[in-house]
């Protein structure tokens, strides 16, 4: 065989030996470990996010005090910002005419009371005369005419006495009515609080029903807001809530629910909730716009 032929055979033999070997390659000797199957994680439920409900700070009692009588304002005893007690006089009207009528009624009452006393004495005397006339007629010492006259005088005195007693009641009622009229000439505070507004000035002539002052309670300070009837988060009495001022979101306050409205408003589908502020700062005042933080419904799971 030629030399170049021997070389070709050697190369082919080497190639066949490598390709037909039954021993695995070093990289394939060790089997690759199986990867564990991990189930996809369930996303956690989303916590309710806080939403805000607009509201206004208020108080339980705040009313416009109206004039109860026609008249001229002759004196002001309170102004805006004045702290007043219950029944304190805020303004006075010219009451001279009512005062004069009251004095006359008291005088008439006194006259009626004196007449009652006089007729009581007269009735007592006439009843005594009647008793004597009855005894004398029984003993034959008096006539029937004298007895009839005595009976008439006794009955007349009794009727006069009852008439004057009725006059006393009548004049007592007149005095009481004028005393009430005199009280109405004074504009008074219905409860203790602060004068938040004054509508009248000295010298104004007002009529019955005219607004004169607005009086507000100082405490407790309340916040009223509405919760949708469909809301899953139901308010309960004594439940805490938190709010912030609309003008300054960094100013927060705490409150506790004191009342939950029993009726749902058909127009809005909501009901009223009232909460009392806990230790409010002195600069919080009725009428301030606020926002109440209220839990939003939970986000549904995907």
Among the listed ranges 20-24, 94-98, 296-300, which one has the minimum average pLDDT value? 20-24
200 inside domain:
yes
**Looking at the structure, do residues 165 and 285 belong to the same domain, yes or no?**
no
What is the domain count for the chain? 3
43 inside domain:
no
Banded model confidence at residue 16, pLDDT cuts 50, 70, 90:
very low
**Looking at the structure, do residues 154 and 198 belong to the same domain, yes or no?**
no
Q: pLDDT digits over 172-209, tens only?
A: 999 999 999 999 999 999 999 999 999 999 999 999 99
Asked whether 224 and 271 are in contact (CB, 8 A), the reply is no
Helix (H, G, I), strand (E, B) or coil at 165: helix
Domain encompassing residue 116? 96-184
**Looking at the structure, do residues 224 and 123 belong to the same domain, yes or no?**
no
Asked whether 252 and 243 are in contact (CB, 8 A), the reply is yes
**Looking at the structure, do residues 179 and 100 belong to the same domain, yes or no?**
yes
**Looking at the structure, do residues 165 and 107 belong to the same domain, yes or no?**
yes
1 inside domain:
no
Across all residues in the chain, what is the average pLDDT? 84
**Looking at the structure, do residues 75 and 101 belong to the same domain, yes or no?**
no
Q: pLDDT digits over 76-92, tens only?
A: 999 999 999 999 999 99
Other CB atoms within a 10 A radius of the CB of residue 216 amount to 19
Burial of 221 (0-12, 13-18, 19+ CB in 10 A): buried
Q: pLDDT digits over 114-171, tens only?
A: 999 999 999 999 899 988 888 988 888 888 888 889 899 999 999 999 999 999 999 9
**Looking at the structure, do residues 154 and 191 belong to the same domain, yes or no?**
no
81 inside domain:
yes
Tokens 């006339």 label which residue? 133
């Amino acid at each position: 065989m030629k030399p170049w032929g021997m070389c070709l055979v050697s190369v082919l033999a080497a190639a066949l030996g490598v390709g037909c070997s039954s021993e695995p390659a070093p990289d394939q000797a060790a089997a690759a470990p199986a990867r564990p199957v991990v189930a996809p994680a369930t996303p956690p439920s989303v916590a309710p996010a806080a939403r805000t409900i607009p509201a206004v700070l208020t108080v339980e009692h705040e009313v416009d005090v109206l004039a109860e009588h026609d008249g001229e304002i002759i004196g002001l005893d309170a102004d805006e910002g004045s702290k007043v007690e219950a029944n304190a006089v805020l303004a006075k009207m010219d009451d001279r005419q009512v005062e004069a009528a009251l004095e006359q009624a008291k005088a008439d009452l006194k006259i009626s009371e004196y007449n009652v006393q006089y007729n009581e004495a007269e009735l007592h005397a006439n009843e005594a005369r009647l008793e004597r006339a009855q005894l004398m007629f029984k003993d034959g010492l008096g006539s029937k005419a004298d007895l009839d006259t005595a009976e008439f005088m006794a009955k007349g005195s009794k009727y006069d006495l009852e008439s004057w007693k009725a006059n006393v009641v009548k004049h007592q009622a007149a005095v009481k009515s004028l005393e009430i009229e005199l009280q109405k000439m004074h504009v008074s505070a219905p409860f203790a609080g602060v004068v938040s507004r004054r509508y009248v000035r000295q010298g104004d002539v007002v009529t019955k029903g005219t607004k004169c002052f607005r009086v507000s309670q100082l405490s407790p300070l309340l916040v009223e807001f509405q919760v949708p009837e469909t809301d899953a988060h139901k308010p309960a009495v004594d439940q805490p809530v938190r709010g912030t001022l609309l003008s300054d979101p960094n100013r927060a306050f705490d409150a506790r629910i004191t009342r939950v409205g029993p009726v749902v408003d058909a127009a809005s589908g909501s009901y009223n909730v009232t909460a009392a502020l806990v230790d409010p700062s002195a600069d919080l005042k009725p009428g301030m716009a606020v926002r109440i933080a209220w839990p939003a419904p939970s986000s549904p799971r995907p």
